């Protein structure tokens, strides 16, 4: 069983990824596949859990600043974890067609995470 901090970080990363997915106002099956792949391989969730999380966040609005703050606090001394999250965000951009608005959003999130 995971501790609360680990669960909170998973949710925060999921919120960041979903924010990136929603940036172009299109939620594609390819993005869902990539999301599930990231969560099953890196965050050790089952496919069913990852898919349910994706579906839940598709219709739910979350406060992005709160989740960025949680990630920054948890990984304040671990730049590699922040870079891994940035890599996951970049993977979401490439999951389907690439839009300039997604890169702009990536830069906003990057600046919020590393400053």
pTM (predicted TM-score): 0.89
pLDDT digits (tens, 9 = 90+) for 37-84: 999 999 989 999 999 999 999 998 889 999 999 999 999 999 999 999
Cα(99)–Cα(115) distance, integer angstroms: 25
Question: What does the pLDDT read at residue 1?
Answer: 61
Spans of all domains in the chain: 4-114
The mean pLDDT value for 15-30 works out to 93
* Backbone torsion region of residue 78, taken as left when φ is above 0, otherwise alpha when ψ lies between -120 and 50, otherwise beta: beta
Domain formed by 4-114, architecture:
Orthogonal Bundle (1.10)
Q: What is the DSSP letter of 43?
A: S
pLDDT confidence band for 90 (50 / 70 / 90)? very high
């Amino acid at each position: 069983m995971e501790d609360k901090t680990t669960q909170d970080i998973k949710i925060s990363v999921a919120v960041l990824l979903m924010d990136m997915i929603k940036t172009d106002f299109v939620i594609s099956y390819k993005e869902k596949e990539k999301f599930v792949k990231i969560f099953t391989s890196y965050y050790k969730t089952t496919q069913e859990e990852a898919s349910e999380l994706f579906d839940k966040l598709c219709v739910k609005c979350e406060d992005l600043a709160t989740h960025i703050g949680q990630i920054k606090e948890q990984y304040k001394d671990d730049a590699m974890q922040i870079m891994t999250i940035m890599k996951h965000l970049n993977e979401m951009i490439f999951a389907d067609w690439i839009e300039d608005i997604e890169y702009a959003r990536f830069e906003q999130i990057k600046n919020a995470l590393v400053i």
